[in-house]
């Protein structure tokens, strides 16, 4: 039972090859979430037990949801709102499923508003690194560089603006021209540099402590809030739950294998997150930095390593350049669903949609800029404005979006429709997916949301 013929092709272009799709999806998944967010969350939540819950969430929940998003996207071949409405009508007679697409577009709006601010920090760090600001620097000097950037709205705001312009620029160029070409080189280069840094962190003398911190589960450190944080991080890092993966799936050719591509992406994303943590913690320990330092962790520990190593200026500059690229390829995928939605809904051109949507998100991003500066004392609910947006989008909205998507794929779509996209022979891999999509993922996400998400409101 194939999708109707008029939906065989995407409205916005297609990936030229399977590798192109894998790289684009990896470009979306690998970003600040791996190198900036994962290590500091692991640090704040006590390490090992958090990492274990995270890994279970990634493979038992995130992977089946990612497959669901790609298959839904490819079958609908529209923006997430219209795809969900179309398939909803086809499979169950109601277009109301489009609402989850709308939630996704809104979540993307919130996420990009802070993602671009942190992306701006990484761009600022390219300049700092190249100018030698970290050479032989101690932890105080490095912390000073950090706070000079993030706590001054004019500085952070300028870099946020630069980052947003870059993101809008690629989305204006479109899928084939802009994206696929960039990620081909950048993701492999980032991994290579992380390996160089791993070599350095092994020489700090605290590598073993880093390993223990990261992998020895101390379950007494695990709280409801940290379980929910691990779930939210799994969604955030894999880019699932808001329609970004669905949008990329819409540009995937019919003949490419969804299971193989998604497994490759999930494995790379997870390895890069663990690798970053293994680089960051030994350095932090060796220099007496607090692993629970929060959002500043990566920005304050890595420069210490760069400052000590031979050729550190070059390595540091390259590293922040690559990190900015990784953030950039992710940001593009956060903007794309909203842009595709606006283009299809109001018949806008791609440049107009990208510029208008991007500008609104950019303006909203200044609330995050301020929350690391003059507004850092304004605390409510979860903390600063940034903390609230971050919690709401990653720990609540992404899991809700993912839950509805996986229920749709597992329960609402006919078995034939999903098998047709994933594996027409319906082998063991397909049956495993369907079992997780019907039972494991929905039950686990619901349980975590109810007990830790809503229970904590
Ligand atoms: N996965 C990205 C990261 O780890 O940095 C962030 C992200 C991209 C989240 C795309 C959500 C999304 F739709």
pLDDT digits (tens, 9 = 90+) for 77-129: 999 999 999 999 999 999 999 999 999 999 999 999 999 999 999 999 999 99
DSSP state of 436: I
- Domains of the chain from N-terminus onward: 24-453 (1.10.4160.10)
Query: Ligand 1 pocket test: which of 111, 272, 338 has the largest number of ligand atoms within 8 Å of its C-beta?
Result: 111
Index of the ligand 1 atom closest to the CA of residue 337: 13
Index of the ligand 1 atom closest to the CA of residue 108: 13
d(CA 389, CA 368): 9
Q: What confidence score (pLDDT) does residue 2 get?
A: 60
Query: CB within 8 A of 62, min separation 6: which ones?
Result: 234, 235, 237, 238, 240, 266, 402
What are the average pLDDT values for consecutive 10-residue runs of the chain, which has 457 residues?
67 80 91 96 94 97 98 96 97 97 97 98 98 94 96 98 95 76 78 90 93 93 91 97 95 91 96 95 91 93 89 90 91 94 95 98 98 96 95 96 98 97 93 98 95 66
Q: What confidence score (pLDDT) does residue 445 get?
A: 96
Tell how far the Cα of 128 is from the centroid of ligand 1, in angstroms.
25
Q: Nearest C-alpha to atom 7 of ligand 1 is from which residue?
A: 239
Q: What confidence score (pLDDT) does residue 175 get?
A: 65
Tell how far the Cα of 43 is from the centroid of ligand 1, in angstroms.
20
Helix, strand, coil in percent for the chain, rounding step 5: 80, 0, 20
Tell how far the Cα of 329 is from the centroid of ligand 1, in angstroms.
9
Q: What confidence score (pLDDT) does residue 339 get?
A: 95
- Based on its alpha-carbon atoms, the radius of gyration of the chain, rounded to whole angstroms, reads 21
Q: Nearest C-alpha to atom 10 of ligand 1 is from which residue?
A: 239
- Give exposure, 83-103, as e/b (b: 16+ Cβ within 10 Å): bbbbbbebbeeebebbebbeb
Query: Ligand 1 pocket test: which of 40, 109, 187, 236 has the largest number of ligand atoms within 8 Å of its C-beta?
Result: 236
Q: Sign of the CA dihedral 422, 427, 430, 431?
A: positive
- The phi, psi pair for 381, rounded to 5°, reads 45, -90
Q: What confidence score (pLDDT) does residue 291 get?
A: 92
Query: Ligand 1 pocket test: which of 25, 27, 29, 295 has the largest number of ligand atoms within 8 Å of its C-beta?
Result: 29
CA distances from residue 266 to 25, 221, 246, 261, 318 in whole angstroms, order as listed: 9, 27, 15, 9, 25
Tell how far the Cα of 441 is from the centroid of ligand 1, in angstroms.
20
CA geometry: angle 172, 265, 192, nearest 5 deg: 90
């Amino acid at each position: 039972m194939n999708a109707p013929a008029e939906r065989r092709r995407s409205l916005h272009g297609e990936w030229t090859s399977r590798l192109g799709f894998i790289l684009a999806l990896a470009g979306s998944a690998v970003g600040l979430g791996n190198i900036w967010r994962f290590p500091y969350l692991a640090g704040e939540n006590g390490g090992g037990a958090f990492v274990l819950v995270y890994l279970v969430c990634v493979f038992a929940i995130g992977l089946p949801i990612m497959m669901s998003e790609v298959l839904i996207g490819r079958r609908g071949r529209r923006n997430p709102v219209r795809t969900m409405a179309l398939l909803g009508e086809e499979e169950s007679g109601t277009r109301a499923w489009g609402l989850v697409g709308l939630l996704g577009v809104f979540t993307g709006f919130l996420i990009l508003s802070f993602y671009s601010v942190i992306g701006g920090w990484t761009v600022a760090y390219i300049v700092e690194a190249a100018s030698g600001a970290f050479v032989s620097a101690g932890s105080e000097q490095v912390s000073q560089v950090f706070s000079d950037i993030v706590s001054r709205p004019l500085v952070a705001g300028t870099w946020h603006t630069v980052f947003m312009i870059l993101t809008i620029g690629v989305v204006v160029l479109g899928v084939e021209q802009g994206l696929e070409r960039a990620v081909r080189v950048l993701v492999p280069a980032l991994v290579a540099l992380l390996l160089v840094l791993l070599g350095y962190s092994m020489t700090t003398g605290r590598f073993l402590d880093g390993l223990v911190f990261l992998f020895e589960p101390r379950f007494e450190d695990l709280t409801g809030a940290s379980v929910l944080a691990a779930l939210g991080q799994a969604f955030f890092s894999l880019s699932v739950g808001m329609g970004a993966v669905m949008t990329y799936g819409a540009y995937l050719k019919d003949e490419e294998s969804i299971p193989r591509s998604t497994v490759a992406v999930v494995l790379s994303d997870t390895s890069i997150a663990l690798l970053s943590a293994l680089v960051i913690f030994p350095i932090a320990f060796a220099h007496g930095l607090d692993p629970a330092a929060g959002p500043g962790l990566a920005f304050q520990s890595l420069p210490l390593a760069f400052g000590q190593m031979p050729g550190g200026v070059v390595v540091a500059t390259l590293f922040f350049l690559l990190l900015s690229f990784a953030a950039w390829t992710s940001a593009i995928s956060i903007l794309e669903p909203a842009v595709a939605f606006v283009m299809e809904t109001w018949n806008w051109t791609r440049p107009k949609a990208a510029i208008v949507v991007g500008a609104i998100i950019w303006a909203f991003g200044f609330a995050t800029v301020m929350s690391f500066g003059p507004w850092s004392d304004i605390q409510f609910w979860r903390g600063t404005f940034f903390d609230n947006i971050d919690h709401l989008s990653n720990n609540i909205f992404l899991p809700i979006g993912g839950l509805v998507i996986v229920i749709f794929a597992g329960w609402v779509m006919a078995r034939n429709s999903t098998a047709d996209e994933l594996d027409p022979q319906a082998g063991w891999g397909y049956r495993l997916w369907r079992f997780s999509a019907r039972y494991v993922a929905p039950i686990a996400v619901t349980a975590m949301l109810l007990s830790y998400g809503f229970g904590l409101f």
